[in-house]
Amino acid sequence: MRSPAVDLSVPERFGVSIRRQVPLAPYTTMKVGGPAEYFAAVAKVDQLIRLVRWARSVELPYYLLGGGSNVLISDAGLCGLVIYNRCRQVRIDEAPCCVFPQDDRPFVFAEGGVSMAGLARRTVAAGLTGLEWAVSLPGTVGGAVVNNAGAYGAAVKDNLYNAMVMDSYGDIDEVPADRLQYAYRTSMLKSQVPVRGGFGPVVLSANFRLAPGDGAEIAALAERNLHERRHSQPVEPSLGSTFVNPPGDYAGRLIEAAGLKGATVGGIQVSRQHANFFINPGGAGSATAADVVALIQVVQRIVAERFGVQLSPEVQLVGEWPAGQYLT
Ligand SMILES: Cc1cc2nc3c(=O)[nH]c(=O)nc-3n(C[C@H](O)[C@H](O)[C@H](O)COP(=O)(O)OP(=O)(O)OC[C@H]3O[C@@H](n4cnc5c(N)ncnc54)[C@H](O)[C@@H]3O)c2cc1C
């Protein structure tokens, strides 16, 4: 499939250059996947807004890419425009906000392309508690807000105050966190992501509210989380947890109990260190998205046969997929 012909000189005029047929594998943590028909990296929010509105006006489907740490892009790639979000402004308020005199928690503002781990580290250094769980989380603030990312019993929803979201019509609104319908690793925004490209919502920025605390305790908790992650998760390219945990159990436990650690399809392997992580040990060029899907299907089938549990992917499949590679 191809998108309608578009005049790329228009975004050039507001400072955004668009390239064609750009390989996306380097922009994902799994290092697999095909090209974007059109691709633009955007570092300023006003350019992001203009680009999305322009794409909408010329009916060019778009897709937002953050750190690419939770998306499996098909080998055929994506039609339309992939927007790589590099908007990275952060502001941590020194003083309590005068609008909320009863509440002394400072605001932490971050644009959608900010590294979530980098933001968490800055808040830890500022003596603020609430994001210690995220000090080594891959990906961006935008991806974390969409996915309700979380770890060690905490998640984005616990400290997010609101998010500045541009909707599919190009209108911008500050959406309070309680309107984002957060649940385990999902949100209203995630359900609206057009995984084959389209006109979905865009997280421009997020406001967190974090409490001041004991700097030494905050730093120690962050360090424990970092240490725990280093010891429990593989370092090879991956997409983190492949499946969401089924109610009352762990996907990794079931996969390990089924004897699937080390199982391999093509260049993709079930990690021996953490069975819910699928790894690409050979890195770029040595595996395909089809390998990942085939391994997911093998693991789903065997776990269902052995334990009667249907594992649901946490990773999002994006782009054009041949019949038979569609996952539920
Ligand atoms: C080694 C490893 C460890 C991980 N550990 C964890 C963990 O502990 N907890 C956890 O929850 N996750 C974990 N993950 C998964 C991943 O890091 C999170 O889901 C992360 O929040 C995704 O952010 P991202 O920027 O990479 O999003 P992407 O993968 O780029 O995108 C995810 C989704 O969000 C959409 N999106 C991204 N940015 C925007 C935006 N600005 N506006 C609108 N939509 C947007 C995309 O279109 C896509 O649908 C891990 C991944 C890896 C590789």
How confident is the model at residue 105, as a pLDDT?
77
Using 50 as the pLDDT threshold, list the residues of the chain that sit under it.
Answer: none
Same domain, 139 and 74: no
Query: Rounded to the nearest whole angstrom, what is the distance from the C-alpha of residue 8 to the centroid of ligand 1?
Result: 29
How confident is the model at residue 322, as a pLDDT?
87
Structural domain includes residue 246: yes
- Ligand 1, pocket-test mutation among 87, 147, 173, most atoms within 8 A of CB: 147
Structural domain includes residue 144: yes
Range of the domain at 268: 235-318
Residue ending a domain, among 203, 223, 243, is 223
CA 312 – CA 131 distance, rounded (Å): 27
Structural domain includes residue 3: no
Structural domain includes residue 4: no
How confident is the model at residue 210, as a pLDDT?
94
Residue pair 79/1 in contact by the 8 Å Cβ criterion: yes
Query: Rounded to the nearest whole angstrom, what is the distance from the C-alpha of residue 71 to the centroid of ligand 1?
Result: 7
Check 37, 111, 132, 314 and give the catalytic one.
Answer: 314
DSSP H helical ranges for the chain? 9-13, 45-57, 116-125, 141-147, 188-191, 215-232, 251-257, 289-307
How confident is the model at residue 146, as a pLDDT?
98
Residue pair 280/254 in contact by the 8 Å Cβ criterion: no
Q: Whose CA is nearest to atom 34 of ligand 1?
A: 143
Same domain, 254 and 196: no
Same domain, 138 and 251: no
Q: Whose CA is nearest to atom 19 of ligand 1?
A: 70
Pocket of ligand 1 (CB under 6 A): 29, 63-71, 85, 112, 137-140, 142-144, 146-147, 149-151, 185, 193, 201-203, 233, 238-240, 316
The domain tally of the chain equals 3
Cα 168 to Cα 16, 46, 57, 186, 241: the distances in Å are 20, 16, 11, 19, 29
How confident is the model at residue 1, as a pLDDT?
65
Active site residue 17: no
Query: Rounded to the nearest whole angstrom, what is the distance from the C-alpha of residue 296 to the centroid of ligand 1?
Result: 19
Same domain, 142 and 192: yes
Any residues with CB less than 8 A from the CB of 42 and at least 6 apart, and which? 16, 48, 51, 83, 84, 85, 86, 87, 113
Query: Rounded to the nearest whole angstrom, what is the distance from the C-alpha of residue 69 to the centroid of ligand 1?
Result: 5
CATH for 105: 3.30.465.10
Active site residue 132: no
Active site residue 314: yes
CATH for 276: 3.90.78.10
